[in-house]
Structure 1
Amino acid sequence: MSFIRRSARSSDSGVGGIRVNPNRQKSSSNLAAQVSQESCFSESSPLLGFTFSNETLEEGSKKSDKLDADYDGDDGDDDVFESSVKQTGWKSRLNQLKIALIFVLILVCSGFIATQAELEDKWHQFVVNKDNPTVLEIPVGNTKAPIVKLQIQAPFSSGINQSVSEGDTVVNFKLNNDTFKLDLNLTLLHGGIISMESHQFACHKADNNSCLVHVDTNSSVPIPFLYSYSVLANNVDHEIVYALIVLILVYVLIVLELVHRTLAALLGSLAAVAVLSALGQRPTMETLVSWIDMETLALLFGMMIIVAIFAESGFFDYCALKAYQLAKGQVWPLITLLCLFSAVVSAFLDNVTTILLLTPVTIRLCEVLNLDPRRILVAEVLFSNIGGTATAIGDPPNVIILGAVSKQGISFSDLTVHLTIGIILIAVVGYGFLRIYYRKVEFLKNEESPEIMELRHEIGLWKKASLRISAVTREESVMKALILQKTAELENALSRSLHKRRKAEKKDFHSTLLELQKKYRIRDHWLLVKSGCVLLVVILLLFVHSFIPSLHVGIGWIAVLGAVWLLVLADVTDLESILHQVEWSTLLFFAALFTLMEALSELGLIDGIGSAISDIIKHVDEDSRLLVALCIIVWVSALASSFIDNIPYTTAMIPVLLKLSEDPDLKLELLPLVIALAFGACLGGNGTLIGASANVVCAGIAEQHGWGISFREFFKIGFPMMLVTVAVATVYLIVCHVAIGWNT
């Protein structure tokens, strides 16, 4: 049974209330009775903090049932935790309709996938030179006007169909009036380095049920090629439309919160694979697995393990106390400190790691100050994404850009200097916007007293704990009964507090600090030393691994190795309790999202965006071409990165920018183009909850602590912040690269 958190409304008498679900309480009573019949149970549970017996369980169940009876006649209060199965009327019918429609969609997608064979690439070889052109015969059967997808492996230079200078080695693939031209690099040929390119041909006329692709080159040296082909469906021309429909479907599910965002991503990836299957391009299971960025998943998994063990030392509680002491209990100094720290650290460390470390501290600190953690966390993650844009290693798109343009003479320092100056201005304006948006401090505070909020939060955690226990054995049944009893007593205490209209006493800073010092302290100094040393080594390796060629481990390996080190050093015996703190739903969401984005890329959505940008820039007058190019690249990149993953988008846009910069007729420098791409792709991640990896990680950790961040809550502050920061970035690009001409 799942429970939905809802805010309590005041009744006519002005008193907030809570209604305990009668179905759940009855099950608790039955379970307690079952336990009492099986054995005489009486023990002291350190987990629950007091002694339980059979009489205690039965008494608590009776109190809960009595509380339900008292509340059933009160129409003024809403359920704070309402069972999803307790729906009546039109809401229940809409819910059943939603389930039916989604299930029909799943059945249709499953049918397309099950009835189409997997597309396995079978590679063939041929050799060509200028004296011996060749013809590739591709069988298409009885298909009328088929679309042929040709994949070629050879030592290609970057850029496709780009302008060719005299003396360059090129190869032409011709089918009817369509010519696919590629530039060859003979140096790569001698080094055995090959790359793969693909192109789709429309075969209007087939000879003997075959399409003939003519291949020629201007090279006098014989050049070997590998090629594979696949015959696609006739309606493949509409694949971008299908991709947009799938993307819109995913966002409708997430925005309207019809299903959990992880399930929405799974449904979207299933639909995208089904579309590929319907078009004759069903990927193999190995291909689907290769689409998942295992490096990112390993980083998240390893850091979640480290943070879970680190939290047991009491370090995050202690940090919250020190931050409260440093800010002297004031809200805005605290927010400023958190945002500044988040931005600076994210400039040198992966922002996902930064958010993994900061989120638990922030939640604990907000609970101390009786603030709503969701609003503070959103501000924190926004500045983490802004700070990550400042350097060439702070955000994944910047790393991809640096790796692609380093051979073009653009160094790490070139990118970092241009980005950092702009980010400083953007951060200042973004902070000003945040102060205006959060100008009312009351907006950041919880409406109820800290005691009430703590009770509500604790009830939610106990209920979540009871749902995780499967009552298979007798001991598990007893434990679940104890947890349900604890929940019932907390609900009873909350009810009494609400009906007595108990208000929080206003305490001064010093008295609050003294109280917090007694409550929040380091619980295990030896564990703190072990965890701190391991975390320090992991952070150091994450920062320097890209600068040490002899270090053959990526960020995923570093995080996983750090987690294994700490598991051994901390002498963890109860591994299940640590694994319970891993955000499995977040990891599954990323896996589904990677699959979805790669499938959309296969459908041509991202390449279509890049081609549209290129076509627009080419038709602009020379005098204003750079201005228009910068504006289009930064804004299209920002909007696209808000709704699709910025990593595949950046990967697809780099060849487009290289092609534009290498075209002698356009006269565009590469540096301003990639700077605009970096600003757009990184800052655009602030637009929506799934626009950046750090956003999803922050929402997942917050949800685990009982403070779920919805898509709409993030969008209300994230999208305006994205518009403001991208506008500042646009002005900076125009001043530096158009007005001043700082293009080197």
Structure 2
Amino acid sequence: MHTSRVQPTLSIRALFWLLTILYVFCSAPVSASGVAATHQSADNGPTGQLSVFGKIVNPHGAGVGDAEVTVFLNGQELVPPAGGHGGHGPAMIKTESDGSFQAVFHVPQADIETAIIEVEAYKPSYSREKIKIDGAEISRGDAGTSVRVDVEVKRSQGPAFWIATIVFVLAYILISFELLHRTLAAMLGASVMLVISYTVGTFNPEYHILSYESAIRAIDMNVIFLLMGMMIIVGILKHTGVFQWCAYKCYQLARGNVMMLAVILMSFTAVSSAFLDNVTTMLLLTPVSIEIALSLGISPLALLIPEILASNVGGTATLIGDPPNIMIGSYAALTFTDFVKNLAPVCVVSMVVLFGYTRMVYGGQYKKAHVTDIQAFIAKLREEYQITDANLLSVGLIVMGIVVGMFLTHGVLHMEVSIAALFGAALLFTYGMVTKKIDLLELIEKDIEWTTLLFFMFLFILVGAVEETGLLDIVADWVLNLSHGNLTTSIILILWVSAIMSAFVDNIPFTATMLPIVAYLTQVIPGAESGVLWWALAFGACFGGNGTMIGASANVVTIGIAESAGYPMKFIGFMKVAFPYMIVSVAIANVWLLLAY
């Protein structure tokens, strides 16, 4: 019995001492460092506090985050007393996301008085820069000595730059030509860059493209939450039958006049697209438009293509109408009112031109339409397309009014538009759940387009990667050099380059690529502080989306529905109709920008 009592006690004591020894052993490097520092201080006299702070910037003056900063005093590297890599080895000074840094050192007072201070900055895709601090830049006081250092690091096109550029271009090709689903293509590109950064880049910093923290910071959650909120609102309103009812009313107003019907449908599409996502608008209107066209004896494409053009023009008019505008507004801190004031007049003129253009292109086909009994057809539409839930529609319209009101007061409240959208979605969602008119799982699974939201998130990471490695700086410098810093030339370049590019590649990734470029040009070109370059980008990206059937998401969605209904549209066939109008609308925007600014 005596033995059985002693053994557990010995085991517990042995375990205690073993853990203590391990703790001391693991802590030894830090303790040794501390002792050495103490002896050094004792040998060299009293210590003083040296504070080094400043900012690391790129050649465009933008802060460089996650850059490594090393401080030298009289040729010796200084180690901050706190921290280290998990307690082992020297601590690392890294800049914040805006490029700022600060470090405090305790060094012998004698060394400070005769100090030669040097600061070195380094980050992959940048050259290593080291500068010496002049004595005049050193501030001495009772609290210690402080030094402010701003270091400009130049770009270097190393392995990280070329890998990021190649992956980005390949992802762009996959997205633009639909070789992979765009969400999958963006996810693949983003994950490849991160994996390379944390495998090869761990052993060789020249292969480090971007950090996980930088990737998360690159995602604009204001855009994500705004889209999510509007998807929920539209998804709930869809259950009321209001969009189908509006299509019936359009036909009733036209009274059998097909040209008038086309004008009314285009106007309704443009206005709806200004306040709802234009993809959602076309998803809801396309099936109804096909049915009306077949009843009239004309090709559905004769109504659908003008509606596509109208949706992209109408979506340009407001902050929430088209995804590129949402991205621009969030990035540049522009308000709903700013967009309406600067873009809506051109959209109205472009819509009037679209009416005439549609008559010229499809007028002959509209004349061939025939309805034997117009009143009977109107009665049939009235019976088939009714408001199915008036109460839900009333509450939905009230909530939409509140949300739009918040959008309009954005400049006063300084509240992000995503907050207004999520608030409206929450109110309407709550009403639907309490009254049991909305199925939670159905709304989450079917009405929130998760693939679109994920696409945006991965796309932001892709663009963040090429921004980190310097590709966007090269493009910005090219535009700046080509324009020679002239505002007029810059407006024309951004507008037409954006329009042509957006016609052949999806305007969402192109806009994401251009955002930091336009931001830089707005800062350095005299006169651009008015924000005119942002409007040039908005017009180019949104109007340019009309150029081809893959230029905007609304185009792809509408053509896809028409094709599944048995009415396919060829790429060249669409371009023959849409591209000339795109050129005309962009030219109108060009004149407006040059005259107004």
Task: State whether TM-score is above 0.5.
Answer: yes
Q: Is the aligned partner of 1:676 residue 2:536?
A: yes
Q: Is the aligned partner of 1:364 residue 2:288?
A: yes
Q: Is the aligned partner of 1:585 residue 2:451?
A: yes
| Per-residue Cα deviation, 1:582-627 (whole angstroms, up to 9, x for no partner) | 23433343334333333343343333222101011228xxxxx554
**Contact 2:125–2:161 (Cα < 8 Å) also in 1:** no
Partner Cα distance (2:442, 2:330) in 1: 40
**Contact 1:315–1:522 (Cα < 8 Å) also in 2:** yes
Partner Cα distance (1:374, 1:216) in 2: 72
Q: 1:571–1:357: structure 2 CA closer, same or farther, 3 Å change rule? A: farther
Counterpart residue identity of residue 638, structure 1: A
**Contact 1:684–1:722 (Cα < 8 Å) also in 2:** yes
Q: 1:395–1:271: structure 2 CA closer, same or farther, 3 Å change rule? A: same
Aligned to 1:471: none
Q: 1:272–1:326: structure 2 CA closer, same or farther, 3 Å change rule? A: farther
Aligned to 2:207: 280
Deviation at 1:513, TM superposition (A): 1.6
Moved more, 272-281 or 513-522: 272-281
Partner Cα distance (1:122, 1:656) in 2: 24
Moved more, 303-312 or 219-228: 219-228
Q: Is the aligned partner of 1:632 residue 2:556?
A: no
Q: 1:133–1:438: structure 2 CA closer, same or farther, 3 Å change rule? A: farther
Q: 1:344–1:553: structure 2 CA closer, same or farther, 3 Å change rule? A: closer
| Per-residue Cα deviation, 1:479-506 (whole angstroms, up to 9, x for no partner) | xxxxxxxxxxxxxxxxxxxxxxxxxx96
Counterpart residue identity of residue 470, structure 2: G
**Contact 1:630–1:676 (Cα < 8 Å) also in 2:** yes
Aligned to 1:331: 258
Q: Is the aligned partner of 1:724 residue 2:584?
A: yes
Secondary structure of the 2:249 match is helix
Which structure shows the higher helix fraction? 2
| Per-residue Cα deviation, 1:405-426 (whole angstroms, up to 9, x for no partner) | 89xxx99988765544444443
Q: How many residues align?
A: 483
Match 1:571 to one of 421, 436, 453 = 436
Partner Cα distance (1:356, 1:616) in 2: 39
Deviation at 1:572, TM superposition (A): 4.2
| Residue segments in structure 1 that go unaligned for 5+ positions in a row | 1-119, 138-148, 157-172, 181-196, 204-210, 446-504, 620-624, 663-667, 737-741
Counterpart residue identity of residue 606, structure 1: L
Deviation at 1:725, TM superposition (A): 1.9
Q: 1:229–1:121: structure 2 CA closer, same or farther, 3 Å change rule? A: farther
Q: 1:287–1:673: structure 2 CA closer, same or farther, 3 Å change rule? A: closer
| Per-residue Cα deviation, 1:246-300 (whole angstroms, up to 9, x for no partner) | 245324xx52x44444434444444555676666225444544443333333333
Q: 1:669–1:263: structure 2 CA closer, same or farther, 3 Å change rule? A: closer
| Per-residue Cα deviation, 1:226-253 (whole angstroms, up to 9, x for no partner) | 99999998434545752563245324xx
Q: How does 1:85-234 map to 2 (within 5 A)?
A: 121=66, 153=98, 200-202=125-127, 212-214=130-132, 234=158
Partner Cα distance (2:191, 2:368) in 1: 39
**Contact 2:215–2:461 (Cα < 8 Å) also in 1:** yes
| Per-residue Cα deviation, 1:52-93 (whole angstroms, up to 9, x for no partner) | xxxxxxxxxxxxxxxxxxxxxxxxxxxxxxxxxxxxxxxxxx
Q: Is the aligned partner of 1:426 residue 2:350?
A: yes
Partner Cα distance (1:443, 1:605) in 2: 53
Q: 1:588–1:699: structure 2 CA closer, same or farther, 3 Å change rule? A: farther
Q: 1:568–1:155: structure 2 CA closer, same or farther, 3 Å change rule? A: same
Partner Cα distance (1:305, 1:702) in 2: 25
Q: 1:545–1:632: structure 2 CA closer, same or farther, 3 Å change rule? A: closer
**Contact 2:125–2:470 (Cα < 8 Å) also in 1:** no
Partner Cα distance (2:568, 2:344) in 1: 33
Match 1:516 to one of 371, 381, 389 = 381
Counterpart residue identity of residue 558, structure 1: F
Q: How does 1:287-326 map to 2 (within 5 A)?
A: 287-326=214-253
- State the superposition RMSD in angstroms: 5.1
Partner Cα distance (1:580, 1:402) in 2: 28
Q: How does 1:252-271 map to 2 (within 5 A)?
A: 254-255=176-177, 257-271=178-192
Q: How does 1:375-454 map to 2 (within 5 A)?
A: 376-390=303-317, 419-441=343-365
Counterpart residue identity of residue 363, structure 1: P
**Contact 2:125–2:160 (Cα < 8 Å) also in 1:** no
Match 1:650 to one of 485, 504, 515 = 515
Q: How does 1:459-498 map to 2 (within 5 A)?
A: none
Partner Cα distance (1:134, 1:648) in 2: 42
Deviation at 1:360, TM superposition (A): 1.2
Q: 1:523–1:712: structure 2 CA closer, same or farther, 3 Å change rule? A: same
Deviation at 1:719, TM superposition (A): 4.3
Q: 1:572–1:136: structure 2 CA closer, same or farther, 3 Å change rule? A: farther
Partner Cα distance (2:239, 2:335) in 1: 43
Match 1:548 to one of 397, 403, 413 = 413
Q: 1:634–1:527: structure 2 CA closer, same or farther, 3 Å change rule? A: closer
Partner Cα distance (1:425, 1:373) in 2: 26
Deviation at 1:659, TM superposition (A): 0.6
Q: 1:413–1:578: structure 2 CA closer, same or farther, 3 Å change rule? A: closer
Partner Cα distance (1:444, 1:586) in 2: 40
Aligned to 2:471: 605
Deviation at 1:632, TM superposition (A): 1.9
Q: 1:369–1:688: structure 2 CA closer, same or farther, 3 Å change rule? A: closer
**Contact 1:152–1:225 (Cα < 8 Å) also in 2:** no
Deviation at 1:336, TM superposition (A): 1.6
Counterpart residue identity of residue 582, structure 2: M
Partner Cα distance (2:248, 2:591) in 1: 41
| Per-residue Cα deviation, 1:115-145 (whole angstroms, up to 9, x for no partner) | xxxxx947658799xxx999999xxxxxxxx
Secondary structure of the 2:265 match is helix
Secondary structure of the 1:581 match is helix
| Per-residue Cα deviation, 1:404-450 (whole angstroms, up to 9, x for no partner) | 889xxx999887655444444433334433444444537999xxxxx
**Contact 2:67–2:123 (Cα < 8 Å) also in 1:** no
Counterpart residue identity of residue 451, structure 2: S
Deviation at 1:570, TM superposition (A): 3.7
Partner Cα distance (1:373, 1:304) in 2: 27
Partner Cα distance (2:469, 2:317) in 1: 33
Deviation at 1:397, TM superposition (A): 5.9
| Per-residue Cα deviation, 1:638-672 (whole angstroms, up to 9, x for no partner) | 2344433314413321222321217xxxxx88565
| Per-residue Cα deviation, 1:87-111 (whole angstroms, up to 9, x for no partner) | xxxxxxxxxxxxxxxxxxxxxxxxx
Partner Cα distance (1:704, 1:286) in 2: 43
Deviation at 1:635, TM superposition (A): 1.5
TM-score by length of 2: 0.63
| Residue segments in structure 2 that go unaligned for 5+ positions in a row | 1-64, 80-93, 102-117, 140-145, 201-205
- Bigger RCO of structures 1 and 2 (CA < 8 A, at least 6 apart): 1
Secondary structure of the 1:686 match is coil
Deviation at 1:509, TM superposition (A): 0.9
Q: 1:575–1:437: structure 2 CA closer, same or farther, 3 Å change rule? A: same
Counterpart residue identity of residue 184, structure 2: L
Q: 1:385–1:524: structure 2 CA closer, same or farther, 3 Å change rule? A: closer
